[in-house]
Amino acid sequence: MPRFHHANLGMPPGLDEREGAFLVGVLGYRKLVPPAELVGRAQWYEADDGSQIHLSVDPDHRPAARAHTAIEVDDGVEGRLDTAGVPYRSANAGDLVVIFCDDPAGNHWELRRPLSR
């Protein structure tokens, strides 16, 4: 049975700190140290379940028009998005709230959380 390990997302040079602040401060990932040969070219982040997001510096980065990364998040994510100044839109989908936003590099995210009761 396959198990998700990581998604690799591109970012233009110079966005390392802003991308890291989004992944750690808004989404709750923790920063890892990448292998020595990738230092300066990639950043790695990990969630509590072991799944990872890798960010690769790409001078020609262009966010995909429709592709996105979807993750499950907690109830406080909207407040963290507001505090970080990240615009988003949300909709109810059954027993979920689905939130759509972009990270500083323009990569699209779908954040899924339980509908508050």
Give the model's pLDDT for residue 42.
87
Q: In what order do the strands lie in the sheet with 108-114?
A: 68-72, 108-114, 96-102, 88-93
Q: What distance in Å separates the CA atoms of residue 105 and residue 81, rounded to the nearest whole number?
A: 15
Residue 42 structural domain: 6-114
Residue 1 domain-assigned? no
Number of domains into which the chain is organized: 1
72 Cβ neighbours under 8 A, 6+ residues apart: 112, 113
Give the model's pLDDT for residue 102.
98
Domain containing 23 — which CATH number? 3.10.180.10
How is residue 103 written in tokens?
Answer: 């990270």
Residue 33 domain-assigned? yes
SS3 19: helix
Could you report the per-residue pLDDT of 37-78, keeping only the tens digit for each?
A: 988 888 999 999 999 999 999 999 999 999 999 999 998 999
